[in-house]
């Protein structure tokens, strides 16, 4: 799907959420969709297309799909891992637009608001929509670095168990922590904070309902 075709899509009822890990992106998308009888495209929603992707066209997205030994996943150097993450985001953007292009014209979605936990980059978002349709959610970078494996979700615990199976588990853990430091660097945080879109900062003392109200004001809904 070329960019000219993408720009012709009507994103007037699509609201994008970007930001750091542990900032509440998935939660806000689900809560807004529930409150407004809308559609939630949650974290990694592009995975629905993964089985049909061509590994030649999407080598980075297909890397984990076609992986034979998951220990290879955690043995990559920080440079290799970060390079892969950045390449995945670019491929995700293509797949996300394909999904949106299919979803928007469907009769059952007509008039519904669509809330998206997205990988679409800042530059692209500026070209397809405005500041009333993009929300940046931020948490302290140290949270993701130090608490990555505190969450009970299966994917993170699976990775954690892989590292414990390594000949030197501590070295594997240290390597992954360095990866987290690079992915959740201050530079990445600053780029998001200064993206030109409204920002909501993580606040442990704020309720989910209060965060929803803040998002509603930003989106004008």
CA triple 30-60-70, angle to 5 deg: 85
**40 phi and psi angles, rounded to 5 deg:** -105, 120
Residue 10 has pLDDT above 80, yes or no: yes
Domain count of the fold of the chain: 1
d(CA 181, CA 141): 8
CATH number at residue 114: 3.40.50.300
pTM of the model: 0.92
The answer to whether residues 94 and 5 touch, using CB atoms and an 8 Å cutoff, is: no
Structure confidence by residue, pLDDT tens digits, 29-54: 999 999 999 999 998 898 999 999 99
Any idea what DSSP says for residue 76? S
Domain range for 17 is: 3-219
Q: What is the pLDDT at residue 152?
A: 74
Give the list of residues 6+ apart from residue 87 with CB closer than 8 angstroms, or none: 59, 60
Residue 149 has pLDDT above 80, yes or no: no
């Amino acid at each position: 799907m070329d960019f000219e075709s993408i720009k012709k899509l009507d994103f007037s009822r699509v609201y994008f959420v970007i930001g750091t890990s542990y900032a509440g992106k998935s939660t806000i998308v689900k809560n807004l969709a529930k409150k407004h009888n809308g559609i939630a495209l949650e974290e990694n929603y592009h995975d629905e297309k993964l089985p049909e992707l061509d590994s030649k066209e999407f080598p980075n997205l297909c890397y984990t799909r076609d992986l034979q030994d998951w220990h290879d996943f955690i043995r990559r150097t920080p440079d290799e891992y970060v390079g892969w993450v950045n390449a995945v985001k670019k491929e995700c953007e293509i797949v996300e637009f394909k999904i949106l292009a299919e979803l928007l014209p469907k009769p059952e979605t007509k008039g519904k608001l669509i809330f998206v936990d997205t990988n679409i980059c800042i530059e692209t978002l500026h070209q397809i929509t405005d500041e009333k349709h993009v929300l940046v959610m931020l948490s302290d970078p140290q949270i993701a670095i130090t608490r990555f494996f505190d969450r009970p979700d299966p994917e993170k615990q699976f990775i954690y168990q892989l590292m414990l199976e390594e000949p030197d588990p501590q070295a594997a853990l240290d390597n992954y922590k360095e990866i987290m430091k690079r992915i959740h660097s201050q530079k990445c945080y600053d780029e998001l904070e200064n993206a030109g879109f409204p920002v909501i900062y993580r606040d442990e003392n704020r309720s989910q309902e209060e965060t929803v109200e803040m998002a509603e004001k930003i989106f004008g809904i």
